[in-house]
Every structure is written in C-alpha cells, then in structure tokens.
Amino acid sequence: AEIEYFKSMNVYAKVPIAECYDVTGAAPVSTRWVDINKGDSLNPDVRCRWVGQEFNTKNARWEEGLFAATPPLEAKKTLISRAASQMGIPKRKWKKLGFIDIRKAYFHAPVSREMYVVLPPEFLEPGEEGMCGLLHFSLYGTRDAAQNWEHAYMEFMESAGFKSGVATPCVFHNPNRNLRAVVHGDDFTVLGPNQELDWFRGVIANRFEVKFRGRLGPEASDD
C-alpha cells in the first residue's frame, strides 16, 4: 500500500546513482522501512512507512536554516476557551471547533533542494539496481521536510484568505470568514460558524488529502 501511494503521489523519479554523485558529490541518502503498530496487541493496526535517514549531528539545525515553527499550547487553549465561552448566545450563532488531519502531509510539500535517496528493493524493477530516487516531494526523515511542509501549508492558508499571526506563524485569522485556526504539524484546529467550517472543509480537501476528525458544538448533529 505504501509503495502504491508513493507512485500515485509522484514523490520521486528514478535516476541513475551516477547523477547523484555528479550533482551532490556524495552518495544518496539512505532509507529504511519503519513498522508502527497504531493499534494494540489485540487490535493491531500496523503501518509500514518508508523514511529517510538524513542525520547530521555536527551542525545545529538552526545554523542550517531548517527551523519549522510549532504553536504554543496557549494557542489551542484560546480556541477551546472561545468555543466554551458562548453560554447565553443562541445556538444558531455559536462558533464550533473543527479538527482536521492532513494525511501524509510531507508528501504534499515540494522539496527545496536537489535530494537523492536510496530506493529499497521493493521500488525497483529488474535491471534497475543502479538507480536511486530524485525526490519531488519531501520524505519523512530528511532534515528540511518539516520546513517544506510549513511553507506548503502557509501558502495554502494565505491563498484561502487567512492572515498569519505575528507572535507565531502557526495561528491564523480569516476576517472575511470569521475563522481562526491553529496548525500544529499536520493537525488543523479551526474555530468558526458552522457554514464557514463547511466552506473550509471543502477548500482544504481540494488541496490536501485530509481526514476529518470531528466537529464540537452544541447541536445533536455535532460530535
């Protein structure tokens, strides 16, 4: 399933390993499979993920310009507080909380440099032993993947009419839609009127592969 997903997302192109040496002067970044049981021993839910192994302990991340922001806990607390502080307001005017996950977020983030990786045997056809992968999109385990994803979702939010926060770029406000959002990694928490949350669901689903976790509100139809 993971292999087919990579093919469908066009994450990489197969190129000769010699091209990697010519461009970078080094070997392709090694990769490995990581198996994760997201369930438990009684109800296993095993995910097999292909990840990069690009580690560099000699240089600090901030020295290389690879910083990716995360919001303070107070940001999400503020949205929850706003949602919980509407007692006495008619339910039809209540703002609700929507929770959205981006599936395999990094594969929606274009790479910012020429990046070559070792392809596992499962990705290669007979006669392709001398090939490696030139990434089109970011791979988990590479150093700038989180920063590339930050650039991707920032661009999306701005195109949807949101303004990024001054204190932290991970909080957003859309004054025309009366929406506020906090983004932590691939998790979006959005506060706003019901119809505007529906609008945002449609917009984000057109851009990314998403999973809608739920909507908290006062109505029986809410989660």
Q: What pLDDT shows up at residue 47?
A: 87
Q: How far apart are CA 186 and CA 107, in angstroms?
A: 11
Which amino acid makes up residue 3?
Answer: I
**pLDDT (tens place) for every residue of the chain, 223 residues total:** 888 888 888 999 999 999 999 999 999 999 999 999 988 989 999 888 999 998 765 555 444 567 888 999 999 999 999 999 987 888 778 899 999 999 989 999 999 999 999 999 999 999 998 999 999 999 999 988 999 999 999 999 999 999 999 999 999 999 999 999 999 999 999 999 999 999 999 999 999 999 999 999 988 889 9
Contact residues for 132 (Cβ-Cβ < 8 A; gap 6+)? 14, 15, 16, 17, 19, 20, 28, 116, 117, 118, 119
Q: How far apart are CA 223 and CA 111, in angstroms?
A: 37
Q: What pLDDT shows up at residue 59?
A: 54
- Structure tokens belonging to residue 117: 């990786």
